């Protein structure tokens, strides 16, 4: 039986620092080392490398591609020194990654590829058990008018039962109080575009009658998909009907002022990430459309809304 895969990734620091409201954003948490590049600095060292090279940081690149589904097995137990080689399997994996993210398919670590990999993202893999969700193509429309969508679903198309259109959600202990409102807005946005209703409830953290549980966690938090500190993956969620939605607490989190036209900050927007992760909870996997909320990459200071691709994906999954 295929294990459930968590989606998008975001977190909070153990000691929460609530800072004052600025003109554009309220910063909820500030990581002590808030440079996302701290976890992926090795990628800069690999810029320009290609097949045939042998470098100390290549095992880290293989581990990155393995984490997100591009390499099934990247270690050579009989000859560990071979792990440092840029071989043909790594070149092919890199080409697949470049195709998924609309980059030039060179098979080499060019500047654009390095920049893409250094962008923080959802913790859910792009390829699971050989299925490349980023390359899913579906057509919708009537008559001669057809549009190509790039949304995708979890393997087996899991979704909530027809009788479960009213879902309860619980905010778990340790989540900043100011993060509750933007998460509620994200649930409301999905409610306005679907047949679902979402209602916040209380209760104990282990209450199995609650449909969705939202919390902030650091590192290994018991779900089999540990967070990795600052940078790389910032949040994840699980397919229906699991209901777990976790932010990475080690990231810097903030809330955009709705009246602001722009937002200059190094924090991740709580609401934008919530929109993405709730999409996973409803059954959507990643989209290859950069403007879609279900696109896996999320930059700090970036805010997004649901796109046509996201809504079309939901309607196709639930046949509404």
164-212 tens-digit pLDDT: 999 999 999 989 898 999 999 999 999 999 999 999 998 777 778 899 9
pLDDT at site 149: 53
> Is residue 101, in this structure, part of any structural domain at all?
yes
pLDDT in tens, 201-256: 987 777 788 999 999 999 999 898 899 888 778 999 999 999 999 999 999 898 87
pLDDT at site 110: 96
What the block records as the tokens of 309 is 């691709």
> Is residue 310, in this structure, part of any structural domain at all?
yes
Residues 190 and 311 in one domain: yes
Residues 68 and 212 in one domain: no
Residues 312 and 207 in one domain: yes
Q: Does 17 score more than 80 pLDDT?
A: no
CA dihedral 196, 200, 204, 209 (to 10 degrees): -20
pLDDT at site 116: 93
> Is residue 276, in this structure, part of any structural domain at all?
yes
Cβ–Cβ under 8 Å, residues 294 and 286: yes
Q: Which residues are annotated as a binding site?
A: 122, 211, 221, 223, 228-229, 236, 246, 248, 251, 276, 280, 286, 294
pLDDT in tens, 65-115: 999 999 987 776 556 678 899 999 999 999 999 999 999 999 999 999 999
pLDDT band for 19, please (50, 70, 90 cuts): very low
Distance of CA 315 to the CA centre of its chain: 21
Number of compact structural domains in the chain: 2
Give the CA distances from residue 47 to residues 93, 119, 298, in Å, rounded to whole numbers and listed in that order: 16, 15, 22
Residues 29 and 86 in one domain: no
Residues 208 and 250 in one domain: yes
pLDDT in tens, 255-297: 876 555 454 567 899 999 999 999 999 999 999 899 999 999 9
> Is residue 102, in this structure, part of any structural domain at all?
yes
Residues 6+ apart with CB under 8 A from 110: 47, 48, 103, 104
pLDDT band for 8, please (50, 70, 90 cuts): very low
Q: Does 20 score more than 80 pLDDT?
A: no
Which residues form the catalytic set? 277
Residues 283 and 252 in one domain: yes
Residues 174 and 288 in one domain: yes
User: Helix, strand or coil for residue 309?
Assistant: helix
Residues 182 and 236 in one domain: yes
pLDDT at site 5: 53
State how far the Cα of 256 lies from the Cα of 264, in Å rounded to an integer: 9
Residues 270 and 214 in one domain: yes
> Is residue 194, in this structure, part of any structural domain at all?
yes
Give the CA distances from residue 264 to residues 28, 46, 194, 223, 303, in Å, rounded to whole numbers and listed in that order: 15, 29, 32, 33, 11
* Strand ranges inside 14-72, DSSP E: 25-29
User: Helix, strand or coil for residue 50?
Assistant: coil
pLDDT at site 203: 76
pLDDT at site 83: 87
Domain that holds residue 69: 48-109
Q: Which residues are annotated as a binding site for Ca(2+)?
A: 211, 228-229, 248, 251
* Global model pTM greater than 0.85: no
Residues 66 and 29 in one domain: no
Residues 218 and 71 in one domain: no
State how far the Cα of 272 lies from the Cα of 276, in Å rounded to an integer: 7
pLDDT at site 73: 78
Lowest mean pLDDT among 88-102, 141-155, 291-305: 141-155
pLDDT at site 33: 45
State how far the Cα of 21 lies from the Cα of 262, in Å rounded to an integer: 15
Q: Which residues are annotated as a binding site for Zn(2+)?
A: 122, 221, 223, 236, 246, 276, 280, 286, 294
């Amino acid at each position: 039986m295929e294990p459930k895969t968590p989606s998008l990734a975001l977190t909070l620091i153990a000691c929460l620092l609530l800072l004052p409201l600025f003109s554009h954003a309220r910063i909820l948490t500030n990581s002590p080392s808030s440079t996302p590049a701290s976890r992926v600095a090795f990628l800069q060292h690999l810029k320009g490398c290609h097949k045939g090279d042998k470098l100390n940081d290549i095992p880290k690149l293989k581990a990155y591609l393995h984490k997100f589904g591009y390499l099934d097995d990247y270690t050579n137990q009989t000859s560990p020194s071979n792990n440092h080689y840029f071989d043909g399997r790594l070149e092919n994996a890199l080409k697949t990654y470049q195709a998924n993210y609309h980059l030039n398919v060179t098979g080499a670590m060019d500047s654009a590829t390095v920049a893409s990999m250094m962008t923080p993202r959802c913790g859910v893999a792009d390829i699971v058990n050989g299925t490349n969700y980023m390359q899913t193509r579906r057509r919708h429309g009537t008559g001669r008018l057809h549009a190509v969508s790039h949304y995708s679903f979890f393997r087996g198309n899991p979704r909530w039962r027809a009788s479960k259109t009213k879902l309860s959600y619980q905010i778990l202990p340790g989540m900043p109080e100011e993060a509750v409102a933007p998460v509620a807005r994200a649930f409301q946005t999905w409610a306005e575009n679907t047949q679902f209703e979402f209602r916040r409830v209380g209760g104990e953290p282990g209450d199995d009658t609650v449909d969705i549980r939202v919390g902030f966690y650091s590192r290994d938090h018991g779900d089999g998909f540990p967070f990795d500190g600052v940078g790389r993956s910032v949040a994840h969620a699980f397919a229906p009907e699991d209901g777990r939605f976790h932010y990475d607490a080690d990231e810097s989190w903030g809330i955009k002022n709705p009246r602001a036209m722009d937002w200059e900050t190094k924090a991740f927007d709580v609401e934008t990430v919530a929109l993405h992760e709730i999409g996973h909870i409803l059954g959507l996997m990643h989209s290859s459309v950069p403007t879609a909320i279900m696109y896996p990459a999320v930059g700090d200071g970036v805010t997004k809304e649901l796109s046509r691709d996201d809504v079309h994906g939901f309607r196709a999954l639930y046949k509404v």
